[in-house]
Structures are given as structure tokens and as C-alpha cells.
Amino acid sequence: MFIATIVDFIRTHQDLAYGLALVAAMSEALPLIGVVVPGETIVLGISALAATGALHLIPLLISVTLGAVIGDGISYWLGHHYHRSIIDHWPLSRYPALIVRGEDFFRRHGGKSVFIARFTPGVRAILPLIAGTLSMSPTRFYILNVVSALAWGVSHVLVGVAVGASLVLAGAVAGRLMIVLIVLSVFAAAIVMATRIAVQRLPPLLTRLLERLGMWAQGRHGWFSRQLQSVLDPARTELPGLALLGALLVASLWAFMGIVQDVIAGDPLVRADVAVFQLLQGLRTGWIDRIVVAITELGDATVLLAVTFATLCWFAWRRNWRAVIYEVAAVGVASLFSILVKLTMHQSRPSIGYGGLDFFSFPSGHTTASTALFAFLAIIVAWEVRRRWQLAVTAGAGLLVGTIAFSRVYLGAHWLSDILAGITFGLAWASLLAIAYLRRSPPRAGAAGICASTIAGLLIVGTFHIQRQHANDMHRYAVQVKTQTLPLVWWWTGGWRTLPAHRIDLIGGIEEPLTFQWAGSLRTLKEELSQLGWAEPVPWSLRSTLAWLSPEPAILDLPVLPRLEGGHQEALVLVHSISGYPKERRLVLRLWRSNVVLARSVKRAKPLWIGSVSEEQRRHVAAILTIVQELKSYDGPLGVLVPAIRTHRLEMRGTASRKPGWDGSVLLGQAPPHSSSER
């Protein structure tokens, strides 16, 4: 009840956001808490509300700045009062590496480290404490604390306001823009996380496994044990790295073969291809397209050949002919392999406008060649640099390859399976070449020179190539909406059976039945249903989101969770609560476009929509969280909808399509002939 009271108070008094901004800014500077709590993200998110008029800018700036000053002040006071003893006790004693990093940072930058650390991830949550333990003058600290807090607060609040303003100005594309940004953020975070695990966590684990394997071999006699002991010689310091590359080779090759099998067999991955394609095409906006087209042009053959030539020149200048041969093999074999597989698989692209070899899509040549090239170069560089630089190098290469691969799917040039196959084969081939190259103790390749030549090739040739090709490629990768025009009578007399019987989610799974098909304007349908109590659901907002944490919210006060059908977003969502249904239940009607247009004549065409009618029930979790669960009963909700459609037919699907709770009924409805067919 205490938590519910707080939630209700927030819903009624949105000014509490100022206090939340203060606490978030304060937590960003507290020891250890700032490492866990995403205070910076919370401040940016709250600041975005100022652009909508929900919050006032000046009080928000004061709250954020004051919170930052208080957080650093508390941290400094703890260090100044308890000195080194606070570091030697729990919980700080469990993080000696963080303490050492903070002390090194303070000794390297002196007093100005208080200002610098405010904008430096990794040390800002510990630096004020370190300043206190190292007896920094209180007067000097608090001056720098206030100045840095003001600079930090102003910069973060204004950035958040700018983001919020851009979303307000974006208008209709705001939701799509946010979804794309979320997808990209999750995608980038997954790449960095996977890279961190591979670089930081796996080598120690492999080292321990190899040590145990060596101890096992020492206790046995025979040819195999002797060979194993020679391979596992502790003097061979390169062994853990080679073992990691071997594991990457096996995992990538296994994943590639699994993708090929799924594509040949038409498994859920193929359905996911269509769903992801439809989703991303529906999220596209003009200025994001311009950025993504520029990214995809960095994977064009012109740019890849320039990077390859620049790095080959570096290897030749150092007379490292072995690296020259292996790099040529990395790019050449990867490109040739993608061509051969395309000719074998004959998988067509999702978009039209390609001819010759480019007509086939599996695997993505862009992705295969760029993955093989940049992965091979990143492995060589990571082999020579210190541990702290390995993550930056590999994550940078992963983000470059990942964004190029994502651009191919976003622009509709390839299916999801195409780029996954390209990434997995490219990683496998690069790992195999790297193992063969590194196992023979090659000469140092010069990590700085490889990075410099790679970046120079990308910046110089990439910039020139983008300037020359961008206008043409914007036209080439324009959104293509595929529609099929069919006679209305064909659909009404049986053609409706050719449309999907069930919703397909984003990963290719078969979900609830599609029990309603509507020919005509959604506006007309909405007007018809509104007369019988159907209405739009509560929109997503701060207040409606917090309603999920209330103890007894009315189910009609809860927003409807979005769903995708074959990658399409919902075109219309309506909810209904009728007499005879419990208060905690509601009916939900969802409609998606079908890419079919039904025509009585050339001038009288109607779009066709497919949808579902389901019943949802409110449930509670731990007395403070509300969830909505769909009931597996579809016949009753459809029966409620039938009387609301004036021109309708009730048909039945075959038994093969039916699911529990659904007898196969499908409602066909159409707008009156005189109504508008506009959406």
C-alpha cells in the first residue's frame, strides 16, 4: 500500500519529476551507486519532457545541478571524514580495481580531475571519494564541484530538451524514430556486451580449462597424451588466444550451417525474415534513411577495396608478406564464397531493382566481405595491443560491421538470414585465417599503422564515395510498397481464405488467429463501432504507464500492448467493455494492413485489413504490479463484434487452421459502397 500511495501521488503531481531528476543526478556521483543506477539516462529522459511543456526548464536545471552538487559533496565528505578506512571496508573493499583506477586518475590530473571526472564514465562515481581520502582542500573541491555540476547539468538538460524537441517536431514519425533508436541501441549494446565477454571473460576461463586439460594429460602415458602435453606447453603464451579463436571458428561455422539449414527447410527464420523486413520498412523515415544509406555505402566494394589497399600497403612497407597474402585471402575468398552460395541457393531479394548476380541475396556480399576484412584486421591488432585496448578495437570493428549489416536489412536490400549468414561465415573465415597466421609467431604487424590506414581508407575514400553515390542510392533504396489489386467479389466469395490464418510475430512464431477481415476505410469502421461502445485505448504516457503499478486500476485505464503481424504495426486498435463482462476484462480489436487492395472498379478500390478480436484479463503480481493476460478464447469476442458490422458474412476455416478456443470462424466485413475508401 505504501508503494501504491507513492505511485498515485506521482500520477497526480507530475512536478515530482523535478525531485526524481535531483535524485538521479545525485546518484550518478555516489560511490558504486553511480555505476549501477543509470542516473544520466534518467536525467536525459526527464529533460526531454521539457520540450513538450510538461516541465519548466529553469527549475529542471536547478534540480539537476543541485543533485549533482549534493552527490559529489556526500561522496567527498565520506572520503574526507573516514580517510582510507572507508576503502578497506565493505562494499568498497570488493572493488579494488575501481579504487586504483580512481587514485591513478586523481594523481594524473590533480585537482582538475574533479571537473574532468564529472564527464568521464568509469571514475565519476568514485573520484569525489578518492579526492576526500587523498586530503584535497575542501574549498578547492567545492568550487570545482559547483562549476562542474553546473556544466554537467546544463549540457545534459539541453541535450535532453533537444531530443524532446526533435521528437515533437517529428510529429507523426516520433514513434517510429524512437523505435529505430531503441533497436539500434539494443543492437549496439549487444555487440559491445558480446565483445566484452569474448575479450575479458573467455580468455581466463579458457586458460583454466587448458590448465586442467594439461594436468589430465600429465597423469597419462601414450602418444595422444604426449602430443597434448606438447601442445599445452605453459611456455606457449599465445595458446589461450588461439583457443579463443578456435572456439569462435567452431561457433560461427556451426551457426552458419544452422542458418543454411533453416533457409532451405523454410523454418521460422524464414518467417522472421518477412516480419523483420515489414517492420523496418514501416519504421523508415527520410532523414534516418539518409544516414543509413551513407552507412551501407561504407560497405560497398569501392570502400572495402580502398581499405584493403591501404592496409596492404602498410603490410608491404613493413615487408610482412604473410599478412599481405592472408588479407587478400580474407577478402577474396569471402567475396567469391558469397557469389558461389548465391548461385547455389537462388534466394531472391526482398526488394526489386537488382539484376544479374545481384538479384540473389543469400548471403549478403556486403556483410560477408566487410566481416571477413575488419574481423581479420581487428584480430591482428588485438593480438598486439594491451588488454585495455583490445575491447575498444574489437568493439569498434564489431559496431562497424554490425551497422553495415543492419543497414542492409533496414534498406530492404537483404533478408535478416542473409546478413546473419554473412556475419557467421565472415567470422569463421577470419578466425581460421587468423589461427593459421598467428600460430607461426609472425612478425609484429604494427597495430597503430593498421588502425591508421583502416581509418584513413574509411574516411577519405568513404567520404568521396558517399558524396558521389548518395543521391543515386537514396533513389535506389527508396521504400517500395508492394500491393496487389484483386476484385472485391473474388475476396468476398472465397479469396479471403488465401490470407493468413494466424498472426506471425517478429521471430516467426505462430500466434493468435486472425478472425476478422475488413474491406474499406478504417475511419468508417471506427465510426460504426464507436456507436456500440468501442473506443481507442488510453494512449501511452507517464500517467498511463504508472497505472501498471497501481493496485486496482480499471482495465480500460491501461494502455494496450503493441503487437506486430508479419512485421506490420497495428493500423487500428479499439477496446470495449460490455455489460456481462467482469470489470477486470476487456475486448481488444487489432487490425493490420494486408497489402491487398480490393476493387469494384478502377476508381472504387478498398484497402483490405486483417485483424483479431481477443479478450484480456487484468492480473496482479506481488500486489504492486498489474499485468494483462490474453485469454485463449476467441469465439466469444468475435461474437460480440458480429452485430456491430452492418455488411458482413461469417465464414469457417478448415480444421487444420484451428487452435484451442477458436472454432475456425472468420468475420468478413466491408464498408457500404458509398463510403470513402481512404484510411
Q: Take residue 385 and report the three cell numbers written for it.
A: 595491443
Looking at residue 235, what DSSP letter applies? T
- Pairing of β 516-519 and β 604-621: antiparallel
Spatial separation of the C-alpha atoms in residues 256 and 424, rounded to whole Å: 5
Q: Is residue 564 within 8 Å of residue 593, measured between CB atoms?
A: no
Residues 122, 128, 133, 138, Cα dihedral to 10°: 160
Secondary structure of 374-423 as H, E, C letters: HHHHHHHHHHHCCHHHHHHHHHHHHHHHHHHHHHHHHCCCCCHHHHHHHH
Q: What domains lie within the chain, and their CATH numbers? A: 2-172 (no CATH), 237-476 (1.20.144), 484-670 (no CATH)
**What is the Cα 395 distance to its own chain's centre?**
16
Q: So what's the pLDDT on residue 462?
A: 85
Q: Which residue from 624, 622, 599, 596 is spatially nearest to 609, judged by alpha carbons?
A: 596
Q: What number of CA atoms fall less than 13 Å from residue 216's CA on the CB side? A: 8
- Report the distance separating Cα 377 and Cα 296, nearest Å: 20
**Per-residue pLDDT, 261:** 82
Rounded distance between C-alpha atoms, residue 262 and residue 347, angstroms: 13
Are 511 and 592 a contacting pair, CB within 8 Å?
Answer: no
Q: What is the DSSP letter of 630?
A: E
For every residue of 420-442, DSSP letters joined together read: HHHHHHHHHHHHHHHHHHHTT-P
H/E stretch holding 306: helix 301-317
Which stretch of DSSP H or E encloses residue 486? strand 484-487
* Residue-level pLDDT at 61: 81
Q: How far apart are CA 409 and CA 215, in angstroms?
A: 48
Q: Are 540 and 533 in contact (CB under 8 A)?
A: no
pTM for this prediction:
0.53
For CA atoms 595, 598, 604, 609, the dihedral sign is negative
- The CA distance from 654 to 660, in Å, is 14
With a CB cutoff of 8 Å and minimum separation 6, the contacts of 540 are 559
Buried b (16+ CB within 10 A) or exposed e, 259-269: bbebbeeeebb
Cell numbers for 70, please give them: 549534493
What average pLDDT values come out for the chain (679 residues) when binned by 10 residues? 38 61 77 61 68 64 84 81 69 67 74 74 73 79 81 77 53 48 62 62 60 59 54 52 73 84 74 73 70 85 89 88 87 88 79 62 85 88 76 80 85 84 88 80 80 86 85 77 78 85 72 87 86 84 70 78 75 79 78 82 74 84 68 84 83 75 86 56
Cell reading at 175: 514513434
